Amino acid sequence: MTDLSTDAPAPDFKDGLGEALGIVRTLYMDADAGRAAIECEAQMRMCHSGGVVQGGFVTGWIDAAMARAVMCATDFKFTPMSLEIKISFFRPAAPGLLVAEAWIERRGRSTVFVEGHLRDASGEILAKGSSTVRLLPRVDG
């Protein structure tokens, strides 16, 4: 397992997307288990009525964790492209630190089934997600 639990943001979150999503850091990536977790900071700018985080951010956090689980399990040689994604919302997310964790449920040669959830600071699950992902060879540049 690659433990990245430091106070410094992971380099991949210094881009515009990571900042826009409020991703703070990668907590861990475990290639052998096909698991990953990220810490996110929900801010008021991400909320709609009554301080409830907009569902697109919740979806983005779970999706980002699922992508990291797939990327680390494939030694970062593939880009996970979502074919479909489903999110079930159980409780509203509020501003504060949240953790999105994901794992590979089943992996084929070119398709991966991934699941994940979002927890609040007390550990309560706020949302769960699943995705079918197509593996595409990674192209840097």
More confident residue, 132 or 50: 132
Q: What is the mean pLDDT of the chain?
A: 90
- The CATH homologous superfamily for domain 2-137 is Hotdog Thioesterase (3.10.129.10)
Pairing of strands 47-48, 111-119: unpaired
- pLDDT of 139 > 60? The answer is yes
Phi and psi torsions of 23, nearest 5°: -75, 125
Whole-model pTM?
Answer: 0.89
Give the pLDDT confidence score for residue 5 in this predicted structure: 42
Q: Which sequence spans correspond to the domains of the chain? A: 2-137
Angle at 63 between CA 61 and CA 67, to 5 degrees: 120
- Dist. CA 30–CA 103, nearest whole Å: 9
